[in-house]
Amino acid sequence: MLRIATEDDRRRQLIEATIETLAEVGFSATTLAQIGRRAGVSPGLVSHYFGDKDSLLEATLRHMATRVGRAASERLAAARGPRERIRAVIEANLAPEEFDRRTGSVWLAFWGQVIHSQRLRRVQVVYQRRMLSNLRHALRRLVSAADAERIAVATAAVIDGLWLRATLSDTHETDSTAARAIAVAFVESAVEAAEKAGSLPAPRPTSMKNTIKNHIGGRPIDAAERKTFETINPATGEVLAEVEIAGAAEVDAAVAAARAGQKLWARMTGTERGRVLKRVADLLRAKNDELARLETQDTGKPIQETSVVDVISGADCIEYYAGLAASLSGEHIDLGPSAFGYTRREPLGIVAGIGAWNYPLQIACWKSAPALACGNAMIFKPAELTPLTAVKLAEIMAEAGVPAGVFNVVQGFAETGRLLTRHPGIAKVSLTGEVGTGMKVMADAATTLKQVTLELGGKSPLIVFEDADLDNAVSGALLANFYSAGEVCSNGTRVFLHRSVKAAFVEKLVARASKMVVGDPLDPRTQVGALISAGHMEKVLGYIEKGIAEGAKLAVGGKRVTAGALARGAFVEPTVFDGCEDGMAIVREEIFGPVMTVLSFDSEDEVIERANATEFGLAAGVFTRDLTRGHRAVAALEAGTCWINHYNVTPIELPFGGVKRSGLGRENGKAAIEHYTQLKSVYVALAPIDAPY
């Protein structure tokens, strides 16, 4: 791993040296020898890494374009609404780090060459197209399609012009801040003028006019401040509903309701609680089709998945813990003739559940089932992108006879989550989310010493040995990467293939991946639906660009799908990168989209070491006909969940969770009981106290 990190660092160092040299002496005077001198290495080493000068220059331009593209993707992902999205594009392109004279002169050196070099031109075209398409996409929400096109082109020209003048003029006409303000003012006045002239965006259909409220104490409650957000169908752009945000008043009300409800609930016997929970599971199954449709609309996942997995696996989990509830017990401890001890397994009190957007209903069930079976109350906050089905679960809980206040739903963004994680009345937080969020949640929870269960991200390895049944392994790899459009935490996105079977495997893989049906998520034939949002699609496309820039070979896919009505949604082709190396960002970082990376290996020891060389440790898969090797390999893999000759199956009976930075604690199985109860030890004297005083 050290070797790989060093190579990666060396490439970056040479690219930086190229930028410095270009800034200083310009395009034609830049030579490999000069770059090598600046980097303190021989020209031979420079060509070892990049071949000739043209290749090094192309890699440098890609590096710079990817940096801007990535900055834009990150800003776009965080932006809320079309105006913020336009500002995000402007800010990324006119950021101070792109605007200084040194970087400006390097960009200029490249732009001057673009007309002479096909290779540089290709990079520039992708960069320009992306900027235009981001602007156009956001503008279409504000004005007509024709005006959006016109204003997008004009804005791109303003961005380029501002940058060019700042680089060329001696009088420092603008700095980055002033340039951004000028560009923003330009778009705003253009949009305002178009609006005044009656330019209207294409209507965004609304399927539901209702406002979703926080569900507290067994019923919907009006939020004090009445602030709302929209939830959008990512396949169509349609607004599904308005959702009221829970602030401090609502979170306090939920804690008060949960406290009252939990007292009643904990007093019931496990058998009684189990009986109520079994009714919840039955109702979920009875409403499977309705809930699956809603989940598909809210997430963009295909109905052929949600109708057989999302609701059902939630119901299975609730049924499983309903069955366990009656068997919860402490233990008796013999302390000799004068005493005995026993432990009581008691609930923690109020538990906060904070969910991710990829399996909204399933996550709500996976968290509430063990929590409620153990006698706790839960306050659940779904991800703001997918707020709908948790409310349905709350309604079903009420219908099944779960006492008011035992399961509450509060809605909102990270701020609402923080109100929960820092609330002194809450005993535990169970989060499903990104590693960074997990760290913040744990730090906040520490302020009141709450317990935490963290189900976080991953970049899991899937290893195919030379003796594996290849067709079966290809099935596993497809499931491990493209189910739910790749938005699955445990996905096996680093596919390690033994060198001797790699070519055959990739051929079979590409043949099957290229036939996958991307389409309307509500169409039962669709196998790959929409990604969760336009912002997330940008992030995924940004990684695909980065993969190409890093030199990985696109074996299949790689593009956004915009055929017909799909143009309104966030669809990306199932994508396979061949020729990957361990140090590439697409191999190291969680993409959370339909992007598989393929790597080759020669020996078992080598692949285990490389598979473990990551900060993540959520899952791993091994395909081999040699069972001894299968068990030996999974014992050596640093992952919370492993599969031999399968991938991504998560039966409720088996604990699920991560090691290293992929999480803390376990969901599912009997193991989860430990995380939702605490033990009270009781000493019972059977003889008088022998007091020494």
Question: What's the min distance (Å) between Cβ of 447 and ligand NDP?
Answer: 12
One-letter amino acid identity for 364? A
Task: Name the segment binding ligand NDP (CB under 6 A); options: 254-262, 352-360, 469-477, 668-676.
Answer: 352-360
Member of 34, 358, 533, 641 binding ligand NDP (CB under 6 A): 358
Residue closer to ligand NDP (CB basis): 19 or 383: 383
Residue closer to ligand NDP (CB basis): 283 or 672: 672
Task: Show the tokens assigned to 379.
Answer: 């306050």
Question: What's the min distance (Å) between Cβ of 641 and ligand NDP?
Answer: 9
Member of 350, 427, 456, 537 binding ligand NDP (CB under 6 A): 456
Task: Show the tokens assigned to 341.
Answer: 């001890």
Residue closer to ligand NDP (CB basis): 487 or 520: 487
What ranges make up the beta strands (E) of 176-227? 211-212, 214-216, 219-221
Member of 166, 356, 365, 596 binding ligand NDP (CB under 6 A): 356
Residue closer to ligand NDP (CB basis): 144 or 421: 421
Question: What's the min distance (Å) between Cβ of 252 and ligand NDP?
Answer: 17
State which H helix or E strand residue 487 sits in.
Answer: none
Beta bridge partners of 340: 334, 684
Cβ(571)–Cβ(594) under 8 Å? no
Residue list 545-604, contact with ligand NDP (CB under 6 A): 590, 592
Member of 413, 451, 645, 646 binding ligand NDP (CB under 6 A): 413
Helices and strands in the chain, H and E counts = 26, 21
Question: What's the min distance (Å) between Cβ of 58 and ligand NDP?
Answer: 32
User: What is the dihedral sign for C-alpha 492, 495, 498, 502?
Assistant: positive
Member of 432, 453, 600, 624 binding ligand NDP (CB under 6 A): 432
Member of 82, 270, 405, 417 binding ligand NDP (CB under 6 A): 417
Residue closer to ligand NDP (CB basis): 449 or 689: 449
Task: Name the segment binding ligand NDP (CB under 6 A); options: 72-80, 301-309, 454-462, 492-500.
Answer: 454-462
Residue closer to ligand NDP (CB basis): 58 or 590: 590
In three-state secondary structure terms, 666 is: coil
Member of 433, 519, 529, 665 binding ligand NDP (CB under 6 A): 433
CA 95 – CA 74 distance, rounded (Å)? 13
Strand 214-216 versus strand 219-221 pairing type? antiparallel
Ramachandran angles phi, psi of 540, nearest 5°? -65, -45
Neighbours of 307 (CB within 10 A): 18
User: In this structure, which long-range contacts are made by residues 98-101, counting pairs with CB atoms below 8 Å and at least 24 apart in sequence?
Assistant: 98/68, 98/163, 98/176, 99/163, 99/166, 99/175, 99/176, 99/179, 101/167
Catalytic annotation present for 395: no
CA 259 – CA 424 distance, rounded (Å)? 12
Residue closer to ligand NDP (CB basis): 124 or 612: 612
Q: How many amino acids of this chain bind ligand NDP (CB under 6 A)?
A: 30
Catalytic annotation present for 670: no
Question: What's the min distance (Å) between Cβ of 386 and ligand NDP?
Answer: 8
- Residue 381 engages ligand NDP in binding (rule: CB under 6 A): yes
Member of 314, 574, 658, 665 binding ligand NDP (CB under 6 A): 658
Residue closer to ligand NDP (CB basis): 11 or 536: 536
CA 10 – CA 5 distance, rounded (Å)? 9
State which H helix or E strand residue 642 sits in.
Answer: strand 641-644
**What angle is formed at CA 394 by the lines to CA 654 and CA 271, rounded to 5 degrees?**
55
CA 392 – CA 214 distance, rounded (Å)? 12
Task: Show the tokens assigned to 343.
Answer: 């432990």
Residue closer to ligand NDP (CB basis): 520 or 590: 590
Residue closer to ligand NDP (CB basis): 250 or 578: 250
Task: Name the segment binding ligand NDP (CB under 6 A); options: 61-69, 220-228, 340-348, 437-445.
Answer: 437-445
Member of 421, 481, 575, 600 binding ligand NDP (CB under 6 A): 421
Choose, from 489, 502, 545, 642, the residue flagged as catalytic.
Answer: 489
Member of 95, 441, 541, 549 binding ligand NDP (CB under 6 A): 441
Q: Residue 272 contacts by C-beta under 8 Å, 6 or more apart in sequence?
A: none
Residue closer to ligand NDP (CB basis): 148 or 611: 611
Sheet containing 407-409, strands listed edge to edge, beginning at the edge strand earlier in sequence: 219-221, 214-216, 407-409, 377-381, 350-354, 428-432, 451-455, 663-664
Residue nearest to ligand NDP (CB): 417
Q: How far is CA 642 from CA 234, 633, 637, in A?
A: 32, 10, 8
Ramachandran angles phi, psi of 644, nearest 5°? -110, 120
Choose, from 58, 244, 384, 455, the residue flagged as catalytic.
Answer: 455
Task: Name the segment binding ligand NDP (CB under 6 A); options: 206-214, 452-460, 669-677, 678-686.
Answer: 452-460
CA 629 – CA 501 distance, rounded (Å)? 17
Catalytic annotation present for 209: no
Question: What's the min distance (Å) between Cβ of 550 and ligand NDP?
Answer: 21
- Residue 251 engages ligand NDP in binding (rule: CB under 6 A): no
CA 577 – CA 552 distance, rounded (Å)? 6
Residue closer to ligand NDP (CB basis): 274 or 621: 621
Here's the x/- map for ligand NDP, 609-648, by CB under 6 A: it reads as ---------x------------------------------
Residue list 471-500, contact with ligand NDP (CB under 6 A): 489
Task: Name the segment binding ligand NDP (CB under 6 A); options: 6-14, 337-345, 453-461, 542-550.
Answer: 453-461
Task: Name the segment binding ligand NDP (CB under 6 A); options: 61-69, 96-104, 298-306, 381-389.
Answer: 381-389
CA 490 – CA 479 distance, rounded (Å)? 11
Sheet containing 595-601, strands listed edge to edge, beginning at the edge strand earlier in sequence: 553-556, 575-578, 595-601, 494-498, 461-464, 619-623, 641-644
Beta bridge partners of 621: 462, 643
Question: What's the min distance (Å) between Cβ of 57 and ligand NDP?
Answer: 36
Burial letters for 50-81: b for 16+ Cβ neighbours within 10 Å, e otherwise?
A: beebeebbbbbbbbbbbbbbbbbbbbbbebee
- Residue 414 engages ligand NDP in binding (rule: CB under 6 A): yes
Ramachandran angles phi, psi of 319, nearest 5°? -65, -40
Catalytic annotation present for 428: no
Member of 18, 437, 484, 527 binding ligand NDP (CB under 6 A): 437
Residues labelled catalytic: 367, 455, 489, 667
Would you tell me which residues interact with ligand NDP (CB under 6 A)? Answer: 354-358, 381, 383-384, 413-414, 417-418, 421, 431-434, 437, 440-441, 455-458, 489, 590, 592, 618, 658, 663
